[in-house]
Structures are given as C-alpha cells and as structure tokens.
A and B are shown apart, each in its own frame.
Chain A
C-alpha cells in the first residue's frame, strides 16, 4: 500500500521540488529533518510504553551499532545485503516496475553459486570467479523471466515475481535437504565450500565484514552513474516516467523493462555472495532473513536513488545490529524494537511529502515570500 502513496505524494506535491536538489541537500532539507524528529519521537513513545527510558534506548542503539570498530563492522556487514536488495528493487522501480522478487532472485543466485562451489571446488581461483559469475548470471536470468512476461505478455510483475519467489525458495530447500545435504550435520545445510571460493574478510574488528561490502558500494555507485549519466540509463528513466512518450521517441520499452529487471536480479545476487562466500561458506536453509522484502523498504527510504540506498541500508544495518545490543542491555525490550523503528521510519518517510506541504502552508501564512 504505502509505496504507491509515496510515489503519488512525491510526484504531485514535492516531486519537482526535489528533482532540482542533490542528495545531500535532500538529506538536510527541513521536511526531512522534521520527519526524522517525528519518527524518533514516535519511537521514544514506544519505548516509554515499554517502560524504558527513550534516551537510554537510543544511546544503546547508537553505541551498539557505531560504538566500536567491531560494532561498525557488524553494522556494515548487515547493511551489505540491504544495499544489494535495495538496488534490486530501486532499478526496476525507475522503469516503473515493482520488483517484489528480490528474495527469489537472491535464492536462485545462491543456488547457481552453490552449484559451482559444490561441483567445481578445486579449480583454485577459477572456482571463485565461476561461483561469482554463476550467481550474477543466475540472479539476472531469474529476474529476466518476469521482465519478459511483463514486456511481451503484459503479466503484472508483482504477481509473477511473488510466485517466482516460491519457486526459487522451494528449489533451494529441495537441494539443501536432499541433493546437497551434509550428512554429518543436524541441520539442513551443505558442506563447507572449498576455501578458494571464500571472499576475504575486511578485518574490521572481529566482524564478518568482507569485500562484498566494497562490491556493494561499487555496485551502488555504478548504478547511479548508469542511471544518471548514460544514454541507456536515460532511456530507462524515460520509460519509467512515460512509456508511451518513450515509445514515440524511439526507445524500446520492452528492452528497458527486461534490462532493468536483469540488473535488479544481478544486484540481488550480491546477497548470496555476502552470506555464502563471505560468511557462512555454505548454503544453509533460511540463509536470507527476508532481505529481498526489507530491500523494498530500503529502496523507498533511499528514495530509489542508489546513493541514498547506501545510507538507508546502513541505517537499517545499524538498527539490526543495535537491536541485538538492546536485547542484552535492557530488561523489557527485544530485537523486535528494530522492526518497530523500521516501520515508523518507513511510515514517516511516506508522510514526508505531507510534512513539506504543511511547512509550505505555514510559510505562506507567515507571508514569507520565496
């Protein structure tokens, strides 16, 4: 429900107002600050209801996620999948597609990756690149399916991507449980993959932060460059704004739709790299904690801008990390507070257009000409 509202509010009320401003200016804009304050206050009220001092809660959240080198490492580690899935949602969204299928795409990428690591473990550095290439290709091709359905048959991408999520998850469950299961383990998981396929750690404290994070940053920046500075990126955006006009202008709407989905799927595959090659070193049942779906929230909090997504992903990662700390440090709050905060922030950002409108009205009443 919410994301659509965001869009209408944004475009109708403050769309143009934002278009002219850079990301940095958007972040320190007055409506944004007011929104953040409102969200923080609402979160504070929730913690008051739970009988905890809100200042204490926020300080624990902050010190838990940024208070030490290791904490920062964990925050960025948790942020990495959010950057990837945020991009996986945002890129198709710029073409007017709502990709709910990032979860399925990252599962399919994980299957492709694990297949390579499982069957070609001893090819040294080649196993590594084989696994990475398989993941990217797997994610992209799996996302291309709903893109093709949409472009050529008009099937709605929300429906097809949701359904394909189940296909990918069930397939991965089957493989983990039967074909690739480690017989020595109590839980559904594969054996540990050959060390040659591991992504090296960044050694930030004792955290599992690995080079996938760097890859995520590079991906975000390249996505931004692609969308904003290249011809093809312009075509994508144009199709997103007005498909019929773009068609008249000679752009291939079909190509743009499929391409944007493929880029989204390729981005989702980064989660598989981070979780499997970077951390667990094995494919495990439930390795993704719904990252594909959280990616939708990340993308909207980042306003669909790849650079904004980096920041919103780090914010989500910090909440995720800080929440664990909250559970240990307070008596009445659990990890679920992070989910509450996420919800509040998403709702607040959805209302940001409204805040801008109210502020504008306030300004006019004061007779402050602009």
Chain B
C-alpha cells in the first residue's frame, strides 16, 4: 500500500506529460494544414443570446453559414457570455491564424479594439459599433430607417389607433429604433398613440421572453393592436402573447412586427412583417470581399439604399399586408432613399 502511494504523483505526472505531447502534435497538424493551402478561415464571435435567438445573432450566423456553403470557407462560431472572455477569444482566433474575425454586437467594441491593435495583420469586422483602425471594418446599420417603415405599416394596419413598441435593453441603439418607429407612425396617422416599454436595463433584457410577454399583454390591454419588438430573443414572448390574445378574442386581431431576421415564419398570420437588419448580407459580403482579397476597412453603412435594411414580405405575411400598403411603403422607401424624408437619427440628437 505504501508503495502505491509513492506511485501516485508519478501517475499524475504521466497524465500531464502525455497531455503535453498531445498538444504539440495538434499545433503541428494545424501548421501543416496552413502550408498545404488551407481554406480561408473565418471566426464568428456572437453576442449574448447566441445563434438561436431567431433574430440578431441568428442573422449573423445565417450569413456566415451561407458563406461556408457557397464560398467553401472554414467557419468557427463561438458565443461569448462573459465580458472577461471576449478579448482573449478574439485574440485567440487571431493568434491561431484565422484570416477574418467577425464580432457581433457593440459589447465587443472595447475588446475588439485591443485585439485589433495587438494583431495588425488579422482582419476584423465589427457589427453595430465603430473601431477606427486600419485592419477593422465597422458595419453599421440605419435601423431608424427600417423602423420608420415598420411604424408606418403599423399605423396603416392598426384599427384602434394605438400601437406598441417593446425594446430589449434600454440603450441608445434601441432608442434609435423607437424614434424611427414613432416618426413613421406619426407620418401616416398624426394622432396615433404609441405605447413604449423596455424589457430591462441590463444584458438580461435580450433573453427574457416572459417579461416581454407581460409587456405585450399589458400593451394589448391598452388597445395596442400592432406591436413592434426590438428585443432579440425576448421577442418570442411577444409572438406568443399576440397569438394567444387573437385566439381568445373572437373578431379582434393583434399583430406583431419582428426584428433583425425575417421572423414572419415564427407565427404565420400573426407577424405583420419583420424589420430586416441584414446582418447576414453584411457578414456574407464582408467574408466574400475578404476572401477575394478586397477587404474594405473603415465604416460601412447599410440602409434602405443598399437593401441592408428592409421590411420582410413573403408568403407568410402575404395575406396581412394589402396592396395599397405596399405601394405606400414603396413610396416612403424611395422618399427616404432620395432624402425627401429624413428620419431622425437618435445618435445624432444633441442631448
């Protein structure tokens, strides 16, 4: 027995040593891959909510997976939930020789800045925030334009003259949605009432469908019959609430408007439209350009003019949006693109 006890630490050492040896071989193999003309490697670092949020992150993941299928890139996606892990994750990808690292969401801005400074030879892309470095592409969206259209459509569809807005986290980005939505609604119907609620003030707000559902029920109680959400994964609560309410109240119809991804399919017949923030297009285009050696750095704006922002029209909401509404929306769209209508940008308001 005594002898055995002596052996124990050596056993531990053995395990550790074998681990060391293994790790050497893996690094070698990746080096070999690289030498033999490895595929273009892209890392996608997602924000809180993850790729299954059916919204913002899902859209980014969709674009990246399309690139994987069509361009034959090697894709690795990671969801980071912890602030202290963002920076090492981004740096790690750069160190491992990934050709392009895409960070989704403004929370990663600070970390991406440090990672991009430390790895000037790696290309980085950031969605929703700007980092001014020679190796970073900042992909910005004009959410207020799309929200304007969403607001206009909501006002056209609403019978009660009351519409709702459910924001996720109460931050300038979502205020930008809200303001555009209000303006669009007011443009169509000057005396419309817009009820506004936010799910929360912390990051949890993106992931709280229960609270979003409560807010939706309460807004419908105040006669709101079209509700737009900009709340990430929390939006699922709105869809549930709208479906339940419509089914329980004969003769009354309630509609939701989705956000970021095309959410019309989530609850067909109850989702009036979705304000598309084509993160997928931005991500795909960025990957494609980078792969072809045409990576563009600096700020890039996506709006109605380049279909980076749009309203989703498909077979799921065909019956809900009348032709006159479509014509009206198209008119508004051209007006915005040609600057006949200027939608107030919350970022640019002096506060």
Which residues of A are interface residues toward B (Cβ below 8 A)? 28-30, 33, 36-37, 40, 55-56, 58-60, 62-63, 67, 74, 78, 173, 177, 183, 186-188, 206, 208, 275, 279-280, 284-287, 289, 321, 324-325, 327-329, 334-335, 363, 368, 370
Contacts and interface: CB of A to CB of B under 8 A. Distances in A.
Interface residues of B, number: 42
Given A287-B83, A328-B92, A30 B1 contact: yes
A173 B26 contact: no
B110 to A, nearest CB: 9
17 contacts: A29-B8, A30-B5, A33-B9, A33-B11, A37-B11, A55-B22, A59-B18, A59-B22, A74-B88, A188-B201, A284-B83, A324-B88, A324-B92, A328-B76, A328-B89, A363-B1, A370-B1
Contacts of A74: 88
Contacts of B107: 186-187
Contacts, number: 98
B172 A186 contact: yes
Interface string B15-37: 11011101100100000000000
A56 B19 CA distance: 8
Interface in B88-129: 88-89, 91-93, 96, 106-107, 118, 129
A280 B84 CA distance: 9
B345 to A, nearest CB: 15
B202 interface: yes
Interface string B62-87: 00000000000000101101111101
B251 interface: no
Contacts of A368: 1
Contacts of A286: 83, 202-203
A166 to B, nearest CB: 14
Nearest to A370: B1
A329 B92 CA distance: 10
B97 to A, nearest CB: 12
A16 to B, nearest CB: 18
Nearest to B129: A186
B337 interface: no
A63 B23 contact: yes
Decide if the interface of chain B is mainly helix, strand, loop or mixed.
Answer: helix
A275 B84 CA distance: 9
Given A30-B5, A188-B202, A60 B83 contact: no
A60 B23 contact: yes
Nearest to A187: B107
A62 B16 contact: yes
B78 A62 contact: no
A60 B18 CA distance: 12
Interface in B304-335: none
A30 B8 CA distance: 7
B18 A55 contact: yes
Contact of A289 (B84, B96, B351): B84
A208 B22 CA distance: 28
Contacts of A55: 18-19, 22
Nearest to A58: B19
B290 interface: no
